[in-house]
Amino acid sequence: MGILDLTSMGEPQVDVKREIIGQLERLQDEIPEYCYQCAKCTSGCEAHRLLELEPHRIIALLKRGLIDEMVNSDIIWTCMSCFKCWERCPQKIAPVEILFLLKNYAVALGKQIPGNYTAALQSVLSKGLIQDVKTISTRTGETKSRRDVGLPEITKPVDPVKFQALISKMAVEKI
């Protein structure tokens, strides 16, 4: 007995699906099972035309429990988090939120984190901010620091060690 996706030989991961949907309901009360595949999300997806993200398909695969297919693909990392899919969904489903959870799940599984996410994470860990304070250029090509333009010192964690200890603990936490 059971269901098998013959194109990928994937079987529904019922438990993972339940866990992901469970996390979602605790946060927002948005229930993906109500999706009837009208594809309004994909019609208006900012990332679709350039990057082929299909939010309605993400929901369909989640409903089928084919989670691995998604977490093994870069497609989940193409969302621009514009929130239009959630805002306009006639069934109040939030594909963007599901994508966040799928990415979290991929990270937890130890999948490669693409692009600058690693750098940003490192930067937050060590300095508390996602990037270093910059010296910037004016329109006429001069370089200016915060002090040069009359701005006060930046605000950042006072005790980096304690702060780091806090964030490190989160690596194993789930919402």
Partner 1 sequence: MTKKTLVFYPGCIMQTEQYSYEISLREILPVLDIKLVDVEGFSCCGEPLKSVNRMITLVLSARNIALAESRNLDIFTPCPICNLAFRECKNILDNDDKIKEKVNGFLAEEGLTYNGISKVIDLLELLYDIVGLDYIKKHVKKPLDLKAAVHYGCHAIRPSEIGRSDDSEEPRKIEDILEVLGVEAPWYPEKLDCCGGLLNMNLPETALTKTGEKLRSIQEQGFDLLVDICPWCHRQFDSKQKKSGETVAYSLNLPVVYLTQLMGLAFDIPWGKLGFNLNLSPVNTLVEGR
Partner 2 sequence: MKKPRIGVFVCHCGINISATVDVEKVKEYAKTLDGVAVSKDYKYMCSDVGANLIKESIKKDKLTSVVVACCSPRMHEHTFQKVASDGGLNPYTVEIANIREQCSWVHDDKKVATEKAKKLVEAAVAKARLLEPLITSSIEVTPNALVIGGGIAGIQAALEIAENGHKVYLVERTPTLGGRMAQLDKTFPTLDCSSCILTPRMTEVADHPNIELLAYSEVEDIKGSIGNFTVKIRKKARFVDADKCTGCGDCAENCRLKGRIIDEFNMGLNKRSAIYLPFPQAVPLIYTIDPNHCLMLTTGRCGKYPLCVEACEADAIDFNQKDEVITVDVGAIVVATGFNLLDPSIIPEYGYTHSPNVITTLEMERLINSAGPTKGEIQLLDTKEKPKSITYILCVGSRDETVCSWCCRIGCMTALKHLYLIREKLPDAEINLCYIDIRSYGKGYEEFYRTARNLNINLFRGRPSEVRPTKEGIIINVFDTITNKLFEIKTDMVVLVPAVTAREDAVELARKLKISTSSDGFYLEGHPKLKPMDTATGGIFLAGFCQGAKDIQDTVAHASGAASRALTILSKKELEAETYIAVVDEELCSGCGICISVCPYQAIELITEDDKKRAKVNEALCMGCGACTAACPSGAMQQRGFKDKEILSMIEVLSK
37: left (phi over 0), alpha (psi -120 to 50) or beta: left
From the list partner 1, partner 2, none, which binds 171 (C-beta under 5 to 8 Å, kind-based)? partner 1
From the list partner 2, partner 1, none, which binds 114 (C-beta under 5 to 8 Å, kind-based)? partner 1
Q: How far is the CB of 83 from partner 1 (least distance, A)?
A: 4
Rounded Cα distance, 66 and 6, in Å = 12
Among 3, 14, 33, 92, binds partner 2 (CB under 8 A): 92
Rounded Cα distance, 96 and 58, in Å = 10
Q: What six digits make up the tokens of 77?
A: 């990392």
Q: Would you say 12 or 44 has its CB closer to partner 2? A: 44
Q: Which stretch binds partner 1 (CB under 8 A): 3-11, 14-22, 46-54, 57-65?
A: 46-54
For position 77 contacting partner 1 by CB under 8 A, the verdict is: yes
Rounded Cα distance, 122 and 162, in Å = 15
Q: What six digits make up the tokens of 45?
A: 């997806």
Rounded Cα distance, 104 and 111, in Å = 10
For position 114 contacting partner 1 by CB under 8 A, the verdict is: yes
Rounded Cα distance, 52 and 79, in Å = 10
Query: At 135, which amino acid appears?
Result: T
Q: How far is the CB of 31 from partner 2 (least distance, A)?
A: 10
Q: How far is the CB of 160 from partner 1 (least distance, A)?
A: 10
Task: List contacts with partner 2 (CB under 8 A).
Answer: 34, 36-45, 48-49, 54, 56, 84, 88, 90-92
